[in-house]
Structures are given as C-alpha cells and as structure tokens.
Amino acid sequence: MASLDQLIGDSPGLVAVRTQVEQLLRRHSETRRLPPILILGETGTGKGLLARAIHEAGPRKAGPFVAVNCAAIPETLLEAELFGFERGAFTDAHHAKAGLFQTAHRGTLFLDEIGLLPENLQAKLLTVLEDRAVRRLGSTRTEAVDVWIIAATSEDLKAGTRRRGFREELYHRLAVVTLRLPPLRERGKDILTLAEHFLAHTCTEYGLAPKSLAEDARAALVAYQWPGNVREVANVMERVALLTDAPFLTADRLDLAASRRASPPQGHDVPPPEALEGVSLEETVERLERARILEALHRTRWNISRAASQLGVTRHILRYRLRKYGLRAPAETTAPSILAEPESLTVEPTTASRPGNVQWDRRHVALLRADIVTASSVRTVPDAGSVLETLVDKVQSFGGQVEEVSPTGLLAVFGLETVEDAPRRAAHAALAIQKITVHARRDSPEFLDVRVGLHASEVLVARVGSAARVDHDAKREMWAQLESFMRSAEPGTVLVSEAARPFLDRRFVVVSFAADNGAAGKAYRLAGLGRTALGLGEQLTPLVARGRELEQLALALEHARTGHGQVIGVVGEAGVGKSRLFWEFIESHCGRDSLILVSSAASYGKATPYLPVVDLLKAYFQIEPRDDASKIRARVTEKVLSLESALAP
C-alpha cells in the first residue's frame, strides 16, 4: 500500500495507525460497502493526508475523493454545499446543483472538522448515512448515493455528546472505525525525519543547493512543542531553507518563537476556591478556559489569528471554543473589509496609551496583497474559505502579519517588527502561495486561483506600547501603489512594484510585465528564484571590458595554488558589477576545480568586525553556537586534515 508511505515516521503511534488501516483495507478489499472512519487528531497532524491515503489504497480509489472543511463554509451555505439544491430553492439558485454527496458517488467523501457541523445539519447527515440517499434543497424526492464517509475532528466528540453539542447517535454512526493520529510532540525522533524530509523537498522544489541541519538545530526541533504539528514543521523548514544561504541550518535560524506556546494563566484567571465548591472538574476547566480565551480576545480586539497565536492553539480550535462557549465579537470590533481602502495597518490594538509613549522608527516594510480569483457561483465562497486559510498560514510562516481580510483576499505587512529584508520575506511568501495553488489545481481543477501583488517602501513606523503602526499617509500611498497595478494582474501571477524591484533583483527572477488594460502603475512579474550563486537573479547581460580584471583574478588563483595565499579587494560604487565580476570568474574554466565559499554582509552586523568572514568560516567548519573552544579546535583540525593529511602533528 504505497499511498500509506506518505505517512512519514516510525513512532509507535504512527506505526499503529498504519497497521490498523492496512488491516481494515485487507478485510474489506472485496466489499463495496465500507464502514465509516473517524480520524482523531490535533490540527496539523495530517488527518487530510491520511484520509486521502486511505482512499488511494482502498477499493474505491478509482472513484472521486471529495474533501470539505465544515469549519470553512458559512453555515448558511453548508447545507446547499453538502446536499445540493434545485433551481429556485433560494435567491441566486438559477440552476440546479448536485451536492458533495452526489459528487462523491462511488468514491469517498471526507468531512473535515466534523465537530463544527451545525446542530441542525447533524440530523440530516445522520439520515443520509442511514438511508444512503439525499434530498436536495427545494426537492421532494430522494436520490440514492453510494459514498464512503471518512470524517475527522480535532475535538473530543464523545465529550461533545455529553454537553449536547454533538448528537450522540451521529457520533456512534461515524465512529465505527476510529483512528487517532498522535500529536507531533509525542512522536519523538519522527520530528527530525519530517524536518529533513520537508527541508529536502523545499530545496528540490525551489532548485536550491542541498542543506542540512546542525546539531543544535536538531536538538531545538526535538525540544520544541510544535502546537501546529506537522503543518508547522513544513512551514518552518520551507521558510528557513529559503531565507538561509548557508548549507548548515543552526537553531537560531529556525526561529522557533516562544510566543507560539501558550503562556501560563494569570492569577486573576483563577476563581477563588469558595466559588468552585460543588462544581465538577470538567466545568471548572471550562470556566478557566473561557476566561483565558476572553482575555486573549480582548487583548487582540477579537483578531482570531493573533488570539490563537497567543493561546498557543490553531484558529480552527479557537473557533470551535468560541462556538462552544457562545462567544461573539462586539459589533464595534468588526474587522474592515479589504475591498475598501484600509484605514490603518495595526499589529495589535493597544489599550489607552499615555502621552509621550509613542516611539517612531524609519524602516523598510513590504505589503503583500493576495486576491482570490473567484467565479460567480454558489460554490465560490466555500472554496475561497479554504484557500484563505492556506494564504494566512503561509503569510504568517514567513513573518508577515495579516492586517486586512475579506472572503476574497487579504492584505499583509512584512517588517513591522524588526526583521532583516522584509521585501525578501514577502516575495518568498508570494512564491510559496503560487506553488500551493499550482499543486492544488493539479489535484482539483476546480481549485480557485490567486493573484498576488508586492510593494515596498521606507516608512515611519510608530510603536505605541506593544503595537506597531505604519504612518497613516505612507500607508495610504502604499495602498494606492498596489491598487494601481493589481487590476492588471492575471490569475496565478505575482506582480512587483517599481519600488519593490531593487530589493528583489539579486535573489529573484524579476521580468518585465506589460499590462494590457491600461493600468497606471508600472509593475514587474516575479518569475521565481534566481539561480546564480551570488544572488544576481537571471537578468545577466554580456560582460564587457572586464578582461583585465578577470586575468588578475586568474593570476591570483594560480599564486594561491602554489601555496601563496591571496586577498583581493574589489571596490566600486553600487551597481558597477562587483558581484558579477566574481560570478563570471567562478563560472570560467579557471575556477571550475576550486572550492568556492560565498558569504554576504547583513545590516545588523555592522558593529561586528569581519562578520561575513566569521560566518563563512563557521559554515565551512560546521561550527555551531554551543560549541566550546575544544570542540571548535577539533572541528577545524578534522576539516584541515581532510584536505592535507601531511599537516597532522
């Protein structure tokens, strides 16, 4: 069952799941009717991957595999999406449409986050499971369906039945076969196996040189709690592979922020002992949980993504808790739509600030705008909901902060917090979004497309307490620049403004773009990563009038080969071709049989003498931050002796 090999790892919990699935499929390999399967596991553990693997290894692999996220579809549309509708059943129902049960006929229907299914639809789902027939909205007749049901949840449905939030009879109907995917923190060395897999996959996907994990990085990966599970590992390894030039990835490059973990409860969250007399343990836990959630929501002004990050849970889990406790955002905190011009770019709302508590800083920030290209159909909103979740995950994994959101897109800002090269992070996030949509359309032709725009500018950023805000006038100007060329963007493309291009030319392929609709703003198309080792993109014109300099470099190399080390300084104004000169020399026959090491300077390293050289030597000798003097000596000695054994004492 090759498809089950997609479940990477050898931990006991994962091996048990694979064994259970193999036994189930062998037992039912010849039967047409298969028992419903309920997959339990935290968000990001791979429930969707397991469901698809079961389908591809099972007797219905020739049929369709249809997946639906019950949390991503508005309640008002979910019934029509699942069961279909007749013409005229409701406003805008101009044509009859089959539901997902009928679309998955003789195949598999995967119901993700089944615990968030509205209670009024649970009874109808139970009827379909028992009768194996559906009745469309607006219809008086039932239609037979033959569907294998696989459901998944990140919540305890059994406990939900006791709280009357989930129908007990539906739970027992779905949980004929139950599979539990363990969280990543319980899978031991599987963490390293997955990290290495995703690192190698990213390098192959983007055409990067192979990279490996240093020992301190491996230790950090194992020690981290991974609240986002396998999905978080994939995002972290993609980000670090793209943002790190060195062949060895150290722990500090991983940037496993402690803020991702849940902070300990504050003292005022805990009710006094006398208030808990006669209260069950379960109810006590729920009271504490509700208080913690409310505190985080008030701090973030009901921003779900930021509140979930502060609580150390996923957005899906937080939304489930909101429905469980009946929590709703006050009307005055409603987020503005991206369809209107934004009024502010805010990292976190602040409480009443004191006069004089505003600190200004000038820095480069980048805006990323992603528009989901939709069709005018009833299915648009459900599809867009799942795509939007993907966009938010990818933006946040590269350090961006989502500032505006609507059902058809988002606006994110990179660089509000001090980071190195915010435009580069935004560009990597844009390419990652582009690759996700390409792969998704390969699996599902109905997957919606996304167009992305990037703009960068040096602006004033105000810090008010713990919040950062872009200067109002600068923000309006950046928005206008994005708007000027986004109208000409084709689905599936990434456009870059004139101002953002200089930040990307050296590491990305940026090509000219001719708008065909008279758009006012000049833009370029981001075509991919540059493939030159020195960060020259791919816009290489012929090198002229540099023959003498190339001869001098070749002569210096010959002296070095005879044992006379050489240091050459190349000085010149920006853009005259210093890096290009070295690139041409490296690519020439003179440097083909030589070891070439490349390093670069960083703005934060101005205070450290010879930092680029230090970084280069640390990477070459595989020196890690935790190494003491004796270990450094041993690593250097081992490397030198591997080059020339005669130097041994």
pLDDT tops 50 at residue 262: no
User: Which stretch of DSSP H or E encloses residue 316?
Assistant: helix 315-325
* 237 within 8 A of 274, measured Cβ to Cβ: no
Rg (CA), the chain: 28
Two tokens at 540?
């290489």
pLDDT tops 50 at residue 260: no
* 521 within 8 A of 552, measured Cβ to Cβ: no
Q: Which of 25-39, 342-356, 420-434, 543-557 has the lowest mean pLDDT?
A: 342-356
Q: Rounded to an integer, what distance in angstroms lies between the CA atom of residue 212 and that of residue 221?
A: 13
Candidate CATH numbers 1.10.10.60, 3.40.50.150, 1.10.10.10, 3.40.920.10; the one for domain 267-333 = 1.10.10.60
| 34 backbone φψ class: left, alpha, beta (φ>0; ψ -120 to 50) | beta
Buried b (16+ CB within 10 A) or exposed e, 201-235: ebbeebebeebebbebbbebbeebebbbbbbbbbb
For residue 486, what are the CA distances in angstroms to 41, 504, 520?
40, 18, 10
Token look-up 């006590």 returns 284
Cβ atoms < 10 Å from Cβ of 578? 15
Strands of 234-357 (E only): list them. 248-249
From the list 209, 257, 232, the residue with the least C-alpha distance to 619 is: 209
Segment 414-439, tens digit of pLDDT: 988 777 789 999 999 999 998 888 77
The DSSP bridge pattern shows strands 523-529 and 508-512 to be antiparallel
pLDDT tops 50 at residue 19: yes
pLDDT at 31: 64
Higher pLDDT, 89 or 374: 89
SS3 453: strand
* 320 within 8 A of 118, measured Cβ to Cβ: no
* 34 within 8 A of 80, measured Cβ to Cβ: no
Parse the chain into domains and list their residue ranges. Answer: 2-182, 185-260, 267-333, 358-529, 537-595, 597-649
pLDDT band at 194 (very low <50, low <70, confident <90, very high): very high
pLDDT at 536: 53
User: DSSP per residue over 523-559, as a string?
Assistant: EEEEEEE--STTS-TT-PPPP-S-HHHHHHHHHHHHH
Higher pLDDT, 618 or 274: 618
| Overall fold of domain 2-182 | Rossmann fold (3.40.50)
pLDDT band at 370 (very low <50, low <70, confident <90, very high): very high
pLDDT at 312: 72
pLDDT band at 616 (very low <50, low <70, confident <90, very high): confident
pLDDT at 582: 82
pLDDT band at 343 (very low <50, low <70, confident <90, very high): very low
Candidate CATH numbers 3.20.20.70, 1.10.3210.10, 3.30.2090.10, 1.10.8.60; the one for domain 185-260 = 1.10.8.60
pLDDT tops 90 at residue 200: yes
Give me the mean pLDDT over the 596-608 stretch. Answer: 71
Q: What share of the chain is helix, strand, coil (3-state, %, to 5)?
A: 45, 15, 40
From the list 251, 247, 215, the residue with the least C-alpha distance to 236 is: 251
Q: Rounded to an integer, what distance in angstroms lies between the CA atom of residue 18 and that of residue 15?
A: 5
Token look-up 């190195």 returns 420
User: Which stretch of DSSP H or E encloses residue 404?
Assistant: strand 401-406
Segment 374-405, tens digit of pLDDT: 654 444 444 556 677 788 888 988 989 888 88
Percent of the chain surpassing pLDDT 70: 81
Segment 214-235, tens digit of pLDDT: 888 999 999 998 988 999 999 9
Give me the mean pLDDT over the 8-19 stretch. Answer: 93
In CATH, 358-529 is 1.10.287.3510: no
- Using CA atoms in the order 147, 152, 153, 154, what is the torsion angle rounded to 10 degrees? -170
Give the highest mean pLDDT range of 5-9, 194-198, 207-211, 329-333: 194-198
Segment 156-175, tens digit of pLDDT: 787 666 655 788 899 999 99
Cβ atoms < 10 Å from Cβ of 34? 21
* CB-based contacts of 567, cutoff 8 Å, min separation 6: none
User: Which stretch of DSSP H or E encloses residue 460?
Assistant: strand 449-464
Farthest CA pair distance, the chain: 92
* CB-based contacts of 37, cutoff 8 Å, min separation 6: 24, 51, 54, 149, 150, 151, 176, 177, 178, 179
Q: Rounded to an integer, what distance in angstroms lies between the CA atom of residue 454 and that of residue 117?
A: 37
pLDDT tops 70 at residue 289: yes
Two tokens at 356?
């004089």
pLDDT at 137: 85
User: DSSP per residue over 84-149, as a string?
Assistant: EE-TTSSTT--S-EE-HHHHTTTEEEEEETGGGS-HHHHHHHHHHHHHSEE--BT-SS-EE--EEE
Segment 531-578, tens digit of pLDDT: 554 555 555 667 778 888 888 888 888 888 888 888 888 888 876 778
From the list 598, 602, 460, 466, the residue with the least C-alpha distance to 532 is: 598
Q: Rounded to an integer, what distance in angstroms lies between the CA atom of residue 497 and that of residue 457?
A: 10
pLDDT at 342: 39
Backbone dihedral angles phi then psi of residue 152, each to the nearest 5 degrees: -145, 150
Find the length of the chain. 649
pLDDT at 74: 76
Two tokens at 100?
């997902």
Give me the mean pLDDT over the 62-80 stretch. Answer: 84
For residue 197, what are the CA distances in angstroms to 194, 213, 218, 243, 436?
5, 11, 13, 18, 17
pLDDT at 622: 80
From the list 526, 516, 451, the residue with the least C-alpha distance to 489 is: 451
pLDDT at 47: 93
pLDDT at 2: 65
pLDDT at 18: 92
Higher pLDDT, 622 or 370: 370
How does DSSP classify residue 271? P
pLDDT tops 70 at residue 620: yes
User: DSSP per residue over 330-393, as a string?
Assistant: -GGGPPPPTTSPPS--BSS--SPPPTT-EEEEEEEEEEEEEEEE--SSTTHHHHHHHHHHHHHH
Segment 482-503, tens digit of pLDDT: 888 888 788 889 999 999 998 8
User: Which stretch of DSSP H or E encloses residue 14?
Assistant: helix 12-27
Write the burial class of residue 598 (CB in 10 Å: 0-12 exposed, 13-18 middle, 19+ buried).
middle
Q: What mean pLDDT value characterizes the chain?
A: 80
Which neighbouring-strand residues pair with 356? none
